[in-house]
């Protein structure tokens, strides 16, 4: 299908037209290092500038295969015990890093008025599944221990991420849920997540080409990430959908209306509702996968991000009220 058959925002249409005119080769057609470099070079051109914050500090924590690089963001020099947002970047488990999502993380920290810790997990194909979820779990456990270098006490965690990072936010929340009673995961925020096998849904076919993220790119990412192509856990370890999620925390989940992954996210949100989980589901019509990193190129995406963060604030206030009662 083409953009003429769907509602497409004017600023989204302009961005897609510009990309078409540029004629860049598909990401799956170039070497991995070139794909990573191209993604890194694009971000300053398409995303809004970073916010000024009181603290932006690079840290390291121990991981299963060596130290994991982290970055702490906070609008305050100091604060009392409270929630810490663990942020896992997108990029198909293959591209992206602390720099690609730096501007976004400053925005989240400023608007939410909470510490944000971004995790530079290992990437495929050099480190295929389960390296990424193992690193995210290790980093979250370390932050939950409130190490002295963090300079603040984590009373609870919020797992958050976009695309592949949304998958990691779900997996990390489910993995930690049973083990961090003193420092609970009180919310998960998957942003247009890869919640399970995207090709099983209509949106994968409807938006296979012409809407930024393509079906071919998703398949390429999946092939890089899978230690074994036959392993169903690569998109569901230990199982947002395939393995069940009755213990999932309150959830704020968003999808993009023109995204091949849209129906995967929709189905996961419906699954959580059926499990009895508190869910706020937002679908941003007329926009594409990756919009939260495209706030300069697609100005309407800033409003979408603000809507998402407002929903997070409301959910957190609801959670805290329930805890008091």
Share of the chain above pLDDT 70, in %: 91
pLDDT for position 325? 38
State the average pLDDT over residues 64-68.
97
Q: What's the pLDDT tens digit per position in 114-155?
A: 999 999 999 999 999 999 999 999 999 999 999 999 999 999
Q: 61 phi and psi, to 5 degrees?
A: -135, 155
State the average pLDDT over residues 179-184.
78
pLDDT for position 228? 74
Interatomic CA distance for residues 53 and 106, integer angstroms? 7
Residue 125 CA: distances (Å) to CA of 6, 89, 93, 129, 187: 35, 16, 8, 9, 30
Confidence of residue 177 (pLDDT cuts 50, 70, 90): confident
Cis ω on the peptide bond leading into residue 238 (within 30° of 0)? yes
Annotation marks residue 278 as catalytic: no
Whole-model pTM: value is 0.95
Q: Where are the beta strands (DSSP E) in 134-199?
A: 154-162, 185-191
pLDDT for position 235? 52
pLDDT for position 4? 60
pLDDT for position 320? 81
From the candidates 89, 102, 271, 289, give the one annotated as an active-site residue.
289
DSSP element (H, E) containing 284: strand 279-284
From the candidates 156, 163, 203, 222, give the one annotated as an active-site residue.
163
Annotation marks residue 289 as catalytic: yes
Q: Taking the mean position of all CA atoms in its chain, how far away is CA 186?
A: 17
From the candidates 74, 135, 259, 263, give the one annotated as an active-site residue.
259
Annotation marks residue 120 as catalytic: no
Domains of the chain and CATH, by start: 3-324 (3.40.50.1820)
Mean pLDDT of the chain: 92
């Amino acid at each position: 299908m083409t953009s003429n058959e769907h509602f497409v925002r004017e600023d989204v249409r302009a961005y897609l037209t510009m990309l078409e005119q540029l004629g860049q080769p598909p990401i799956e057609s170039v070497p991995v290092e070139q794909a990573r470099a191209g993604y890194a070079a694009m971000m300053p051109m398409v995303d809004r500038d970073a916010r000024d914050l009181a603290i932006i500090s690079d840290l390291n924590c121990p991981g299963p295969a060596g130290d994991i690089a982290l970055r702490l963001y906070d609008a305050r020099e100091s604060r009392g015990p409270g929630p810490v947002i663990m942020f896992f970047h997108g990029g198909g488990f293959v591209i992206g890093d602390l720099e690609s999502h730096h501007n976004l993380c400053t925005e989240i920290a400023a608007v939410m008025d909470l510490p944000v810790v971004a995790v530079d997990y290992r990437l495929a194909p050099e480190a295929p599944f389960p390296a990424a979820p193992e690193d995210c779990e290790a980093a979250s456990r370390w932050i939950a221990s409130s190490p002295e270098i963090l300079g603040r006490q984590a009373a609870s965690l919020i797992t958050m991420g976009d695309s592949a990072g949304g998958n990691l936010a779900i997996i990390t929340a489910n993995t930690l849920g049973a083990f961090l009673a003193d420092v609970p995961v009180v919310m998960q925020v998957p942003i247009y997540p890869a919640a399970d096998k995207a090709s099983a849904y209509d949106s994968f076919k409807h938006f296979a080409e012409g809407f930024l993220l393509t079906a071919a790119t998703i398949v390429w990412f999946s092939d890089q990430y899978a230690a074994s192509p036959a392993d169903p856990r690569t998109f569901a370890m230990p199982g947002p959908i395939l393995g069940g999620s009755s213990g999932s925390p309150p959830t704020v989940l968003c999808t993009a209306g023109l995204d091949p992954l849209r129906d995967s996210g929709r189905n996961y949100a419906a699954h959580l509702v059926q499990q009895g989980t508190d869910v706020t589901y937002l679908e941003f019509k007329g926009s594409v996968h990756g919009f939260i990193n495209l706030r300069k190129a697609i100005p309407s995406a800033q409003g979408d991000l603000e809507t998402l963060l407002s929903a997070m604030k409301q959910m957190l206030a609801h959670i805290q009220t329930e805890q008091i009662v």
